[in-house]
Amino acid sequence: MLFLESFVHRHELAEVIRRWMVNRPEPGDVRRIKRVVNFNSYVARIWLDHVAGEVLTTLFGATPERLPIRTKGQLKDFVVDHLAYTNSRIEEICARYRKFPEDYYRETPIDGSYYVVDVGGTKRLVGTTRIKHFRRIAEKGARRIIDFMLGRIRANADALADERARALGVPRNLLTTAPEEMVKEFAHAERRLVKSIKGGTIQSGLPVLAIPDVAGLKVIIEDSEYDRLLEALRATGHCQVLEAERHRGLYNAVNLRVAFTIPRNILASCPPTGRYLRILAFRGFDPEKVAAEYQEFLRTAEDAVIVEVIVSTFQEYMESEIGRCMHEERVLSQRAHREYNSHVAMNVRWLMDYILGLCRGPGMPEVTDVPIKLWVKYMPDTIEHLMRSLYLSDDVFFDTMIEPPPTPVTTYSPRSAPPDPSVVTPE
């Protein structure tokens, strides 16, 4: 099912999601997903910085300075003020950015770091790392599942058309179908899918839907340095390039899918403490047992994860941050152009939001009945209440949201007696 390639214990998480899609939760599932998601969120920061530091140090011959990023505005401001080089196009997009900063989604949150080296006394941005927020993981995961479901529905619709062609005694390629008949066949095909989900028969047929970019590294180099980057990855001794995909068009970059052997000893020496331990305590972990649970999590983890390495020239990096193919605009475009938007698709999105929202919520509640079923129709208000209930109990929620305010006590004197409701005052 949903396979977060940058996570360890990814098979365990995929299996829970597979079962929850057909409402087959098992005891301990909430602890399982909280453990996988929260511990991965912690260790990914460590191993991602480790691989970024190794590769960039080898590539540039100096250890880069790492600076945390909390909003995209921090990163955009830095790169505009520290140009690796310039030309008329770069000057044009920088001038527009300075003139209209409100157009550039500067408040967009980001969980990551940027890496700077000193080149001839000038600071140069050479790389960034980022870990997708829970909401973006849920959104991307839902999109993969929905695309799979749409493919199944279309296959079912084709099968229905084949049945109709056989009944009419005509070859399928000569079958003429009115638009309203096509709509009916699609709806019928969707009902077949919903029936298989409700009955649980779809579970064994759910494929592995990989998401490779939960954790990512972006390296900013020119085309002539690309081979040196591949050498730097190999030189680490624990990076293997599995696939290279070149993007051409408005967005130009090379996406490398890299298998990275996790530094188990380094991770083991850095158990959660301080602020992150307090976060885990809020989310239902026993602070006294976190260290042991963390070590067991590492001991039983897979040896390697997949990290996405994006290779971009400085010119194309500027275009992707504040130019013609701004990342935020691409995300909004993806959200706006959804091919399949029935209640089943909406429920997939809501279920993924709920699962990852549950990982952030307090305590370790036991789920014996998944509250979002893919075959049920819901109003958004229902889902909003459900998501709020992750942080507020029903009693607190209703007491604070629905209980009427106290009625003020009014004392009437004889001279100001309340009006007689039976008396109608003329206009």
Please check the confidence at residue 260 and state whether its pLDDT lies above 70: yes
What confidence score (pLDDT) does residue 171 get?
79
Look at residues 181, 202, 223 and tell me which one is the last residue of a structural domain.
202
Q: What is the mean pLDDT of residues 12-30?
A: 94
Distances (CA, A) of 174 to 123, 182, 368: 67, 15, 51
Mean pLDDT for 339-343 is: 80
Q: Which residue has the tokens 């029936």?
A: 195
User: In the chain, pLDDT over 70 holds for what percent of residues?
Assistant: 89
Residue 89 lies in a domain: yes
Query: Which range of residues forms the domain containing residue 248?
Result: 2-134+210-336
Nearest alpha carbon to residue 325 among 273, 218, 386, 248: 248
Query: Could you report the per-residue pLDDT of 134-165, keeping only the tens digit for each?
Result: 888 888 888 888 888 888 888 877 777 777 77
pLDDT higher than 90, residue 417: no
For residue 310, give both structure tokens: 């994006």
Per-residue model confidence (pLDDT) at position 204: 67
257 lies in a domain? yes
Band of residue 181 on the pLDDT scale cut at 50, 70, 90 = confident
CB 20 within 8 A of CB 351: yes
Same domain, 218 and 182: no
Written as six digits, the tokens of 34 are 């909280």
Mean of pLDDT values over 394-399: 44
Residue 419: pLDDT above 70? Answer: no
**424 belongs to a structural domain:** no
Averaged pLDDT for residues 173-189: 74
Which residue(s) pair with 254 in the sheet? 246, 311
Domain identity same for 245 and 313: yes
Of all residues in the chain, what percent carry a pLDDT higher than 90? 64
Q: Please tell me whether residues 111 and 241 are part of one structural domain.
A: yes
Contact yes or no for 268/295 (Cβ under 8 A): yes
Residue 242 lies inside a defined structural domain of this protein: yes
Q: How confident is the model at residue 408 (pLDDT cuts 50, 70, 90)?
A: low
Q: What's the average model confidence in pLDDT over 26-41?
A: 96
State residue 3's pLDDT score. 86
What local confidence, expressed as pLDDT, does residue 312 receive?
Answer: 96
Of 336, 369, 401, the residue that ends a domain is 336
Residue type, 94: C
Claim to verify: residue 151 and residue 113 sit in the same structural domain: no
DSSP assignment of 151-199, as one string? HHHHHHHHHHHHHHHHHHT--GGG----HHHHHHHHHHHHHHHHHHHHH
Whether 367 is in a domain gets the answer no
Query: Which of 206-210, 244-248, 376-380, 421-425 is predicted least confidently?
Result: 421-425
Beta-strand runs (E) in 160-297: 209-211, 215-220, 239-247, 253-261
The first and second tokens of residue 66, run together, are: 């790492």
Question: Do 197 and 130 lie in a common domain?
Answer: no
C-alpha distance from residue 408 to each of 193, 401, 405, 421 (Å): 56, 19, 9, 20
Tens digit of each residue's pLDDT (9 = 90 or more) over 62-79: 999 999 999 999 999 999
Burial class from Cβ neighbours inside 10 Å (0-12, 13-18, 19+) for residue 340 reads: middle
H-helix or E-strand spanning residue 309:
strand 304-312
Residue 19: pLDDT over 80 = yes
Domain annotation covers residue 121: yes
Instruction: Note the pLDDT of residue 201.
Output: 81
* Pairwise CA distance, residues 315 & 383, whole Å: 43
Residue 35's SS3 state is: helix
pLDDT computed for residue 146 by the predictor: 86
- pLDDT value at 82 more than 80: yes
What band does 393 get if pLDDT is binned at 50, 70 and 90?
low
Using the predicted structure, report yes or no on whether residue 423 has a pLDDT greater than 80: no
Is 374 contained in some domain? no
Total of domains in the chain:
2
5 or 164: which carries more pLDDT confidence? 5
Across the chain, mean pLDDT equals 87
Give the pLDDT confidence score for residue 427 in this predicted structure. Answer: 40
3-state DSSP of 117-141: EEECCEEEEEEEEEECCHHHHHHHH
Query: Among residues 336, 371, 403, which one ends one of the domains?
Result: 336
- Both 95 and 228 in one domain: the answer is yes
The contacts of residue 272 (CB under 8 Å, 6+ apart) are: 42, 280, 290, 291, 294
Instruction: Examine the domain organization and report whether 225 and 319 are in the same domain.
Output: yes
pLDDT of 410 strictly over 60? no
**Residues 147, 161: Cα–Cα separation, whole Å:** 21
pLDDT at 362: 93
Whether residue 97 sits in one domain with residue 215: yes
230 with 83, same domain: the answer is yes
Per-residue pLDDT for 182 more than 60?
Answer: yes
> If we measure between CA atoms, which residue out of 254, 216, 67, 195 comes closest to residue 140?
216
Rounded CA-CA distance 150/238 in Å is 38
Residue 414 has pLDDT above 80, yes or no: no
Residues 7, 129: one domain? yes
Distance between CA 113 and CA 44 in Å, rounded? Answer: 12
- Predicted local confidence at residue 52, as pLDDT: 96
Burial of 67 (0-12, 13-18, 19+ CB in 10 A): middle
Same domain, 193 and 300: no
- Pick the closest to residue 51 from 317, 335, 303, 258 (CA basis): 258
pLDDT band, residue 351 (cuts 50/70/90): very high
Q: Same structural domain for residues 121 and 253?
A: yes
* Higher pLDDT pick, 174 / 38: 38
Indicate whether 194 belongs to any domain.
Answer: yes
For 368, the enclosing helix (H) or strand (E) is none
Q: pLDDT band at residue 219, thresholds of 50, 70 and 90? A: very high
